[in-house]
A and B are shown apart, each in its own frame.
Chain A
Amino acid sequence: AQKVTQAQTEISVVEKEDVTLDCVYETRDTTYYLFWYKQPPSGELVFLIRRNSFDEQNEISGRYSWNFQKSTSSFNFTITASQVVDSAVYFCALFTNQAGTALIFGKGTTLSVSS
């Protein structure tokens, strides 16, 4: 079965703090794709990053970085020097052939950044 777990329900930080959002996934497929989406209060899910199961190279993009580790089935997301505009709900999602074309989402982590 496919499953995505985001153990952190809510995280509160003060501006300029670094914050890491955790994501653990389960799948028996050898080929799969992992995603992070951001959902601000407006409701739209904004695509942030995609990772393929065969590409474990971690990435840094500005203040964002991602740590993909197949050995622990984790795909964590770090925001460096957080800002108030980062306040949103962040979702980790899994795409596998076994699930067809459906994205399987975690429950989301609500990040609140205060000034």
Chain B
Amino acid sequence: KAGVTQTPRYLIKTRGQQVTLSCSPISGHRSVSWYQQTPGQGLQFLFEYFSETQRNKGNFPGRFSGRQFSNSRSEMNVSTLELGDSALYLCASSGGDRDTQTQYFGPGTRLLVL
């Protein structure tokens, strides 16, 4: 099976702009989670989507949003970018037939905000 894919891999934006990141889960997985990784805060959970519904949300401002499509692909959007949004954004999918807890991660999108 193909793994989790994320596009784009690298992104440079300026403050105030908005950005959309995309994630395609492993075939058959219905849950997609997003995490932000920074040197200072480590890995932090953003939100999780299951069957096109947000099922869980972390402690991030409303500038961070997401959605999931009927084919389980997911996008996350960050509006009004701030310098502190520079991070590695990781997407993970889960929900295989025998294991719904294990999350498999994509390669991430490195976002730099100038």
Verify that A and B bind, or say they do not.
yes
The answer to whether residues A103 and B103 also contact, given A43-B110, A91-B43 and a CB cut-off of 8 A, is: yes
Q: Which of A42, A102, A107: most chain B Cβ within 10 A?
A: A102
Chain A interface size, as a band, is 20 to 34
* Residues in B whose Cβ lies below 8 Å from that of A33: 101-102
The answer, among A45, A47, A107, for a CB contact under 8 Å with B42, is: A107
* Residues in B whose Cβ lies below 8 Å from that of A62: none
Q: Which of A35, A45, A91, A106: most chain B Cβ within 10 A?
A: A45
B56 adjacent to chain A (CB < 8 Å): yes
| A44 touching B108, Cβ below 8 Å | yes
Q: How does the 8 Å CB contact mask read for B91-111 relative to A, with 1 for contact and 0 for none?
A: 010100001011111111010
The answer to whether residues A47 and B102 also contact, given A101-B48, A102-B56 and a CB cut-off of 8 A, is: yes
A50 adjacent to chain B (CB < 8 Å): yes
A77 adjacent to chain B (CB < 8 Å): no
